[in-house]
Amino acid sequence: MQNLSLVESYSQPFTLGNHLSCNLHDYVKSDLDTFTYLTETKSYVPIPSCILEHILTTTNLTCCEKLYYILANSLAVINKNQGGSRSCALPSEDWAERLNCSRSLVFTMQSSLVEKGYFLIKKDRNELGLNKRNVITPALPSSVFNNLNEKYHDRTGEHLLYNNASECKLAYLDRTKLYIKINYDLLKLITSDTSLNIKQKVMWLRFYIIGYKNYMSQKRYYCASSDNTPYYNFSFISSYREIADIFSSNRKDISKSIIALEKLGFIKAQNINVRKQSSNDKTNIITCTDSAINNYGDLAERQDKSLWKITVSLPNEYILELDKIKDRTNLKKTIDSGDFITSPDNSSDNYFVLDGIR
């Protein structure tokens, strides 16, 4: 599969809404840590970013259905890359364990996702005609496919037009759209985690995509310039309004989820107070002061006057578990510095990486 960039280089920090005008360079300092090491050394599953972003933000799916779809789609891609079909089949017990839900909910979600056009399911039966497991082929409703195909840029180069007689919609998006690399073992850890609720899991995945997009865009920017400024971390800056809008949720729920994610080690959050000062009716001047959110006290009163720096992280137990995974086979190690370098076709100038297992 051809590796190509998902995002253009940005000279300003990436935000949820892409319209915050405050220059917050000093508030997104890099600290390349174990999380970066994991994302740069482990193998991955390539998933078009347009698919992930649609699934995580659509209001047509429940949070648990979103996690189920992302797991099934990633597993289907793994199966295809190993020479099989773009489908997957696991016993309901395994799906229930990976999603931290009941078997009955698994069957309910399968029926719902089929009805909504996101799953195609074929019964896998044994020699006695009894159903063993359902073979799931992830799909997209035609309206969603058409929207994603028009909204998101194709990779550079020539692409054959979509032909529904020769390939499915998702295979076409795999072939033509810019993609990220996502770690399936990390996905399983997140979706099966008993300390997070399903909304927090969806929020973390969305934060991860946005934060890493910012990291990679700034990494490419500094690689292309003579500036020796260190790379940005897995961070982004946003307001409560933007976060609430993107998750179609109220600010109280967003606040609770952010507090829980930080307490459990999945993010680090900092409040940046914004003071607006008018000067002779000219454009407001924005000044920022940084303060860690250890005490939320008057959080509700500050929400409309504050920006937030969200840095995506992982609990120590996650890092230890992921570190057990073998490094990907195309990884080259430099003896002197101990830095890890991928093979030439994986240059950071050519693709956008999220995390992953291949």
Return the HEC string of 106-134. HHHHHHHHHHCCCEEEEEEECCCCCEEEE
Tell me if the pTM is above 0.95. Answer: no
257 alpha carbon, distance to own chain's centre: 17
Contact criterion met (CB below 8 Å) for 92 and 106: yes
State how beta strands 285-292 and 267-277 pair. antiparallel
Q: Yes or no: is domain 45-182 CATH 1.10.10? A: yes
pLDDT in the model for residue 224? 56
Q: Specify the higher pLDDT residue, 106 or 31.
A: 106
Longest alpha-carbon distance in the chain? 84
pLDDT of 35: 56
The whole-number average pLDDT for the span 240-258 is 86
Tens-digit pLDDT profile for residues 102-139: 999 999 999 999 999 999 999 876 666 666 788 999 99
Determine which of 226-240, 287-301, 340-354 has the lowest per-residue pLDDT on average.
Answer: 340-354
pLDDT band at residue 39 using 50, 70 and 90 as cut-offs: low
pLDDT score at 322: 86
User: How far, CA to CA in Å, does 158 sit from each of 53, 154, 226?
Assistant: 25, 9, 33
How many CB atoms neighbour CB 54 within 10 A? 21
pLDDT for 18 beyond 90: no
User: Residues 159-201: pLDDT tens digits?
Assistant: 888 888 888 999 999 999 988 878 899 999 999 999 999 999 9
**How far is residue 37's CA from residue 197's CA, in Å, rounded to a whole number?**
27
Tens of pLDDT, residues 220-232: 666 655 555 455 5
Q: Is residue 332 within 8 Å of 342, Cβ to Cβ? A: yes
Q: Can you tell me the mean pLDDT for 59-82?
A: 96
Indicate if the pLDDT at residue 93 is higher than 90.
Answer: yes
Residue 33 has pLDDT above 70, yes or no: no
- Does residue 158 carry a pLDDT above 90? no
What are the residue ranges of helices labelled H in 177-334?
A: 184-192, 198-224, 240-246, 251-263, 299-302, 316-323
Query: 4: pLDDT confidence band, cut at 50, 70 and 90?
Result: very low
Domain boundaries, the chain: 8-41+199-343, 45-182
pLDDT bucket at 8, cuts 50 / 70 / 90? very low
Mean pLDDT of all residues belonging to the chain: 74
Quick one: average pLDDT of 87-107? 96
Per-residue pLDDT at 222: 60
Q: Residues 90, 95, 96, 97: is their CA dihedral positive or negative?
A: positive
pLDDT in tens, 270-320: 877 765 555 554 434 333 333 333 333 344 444 455 688 899 888 989 888
Residue 280 CA to residue 178 CA, distance in Å, equals 46
Q: How far is CA 177 from the centre of its chain?
A: 16
Q: Tally Cβ neighbours within 10 Å of residue 24.
A: 20
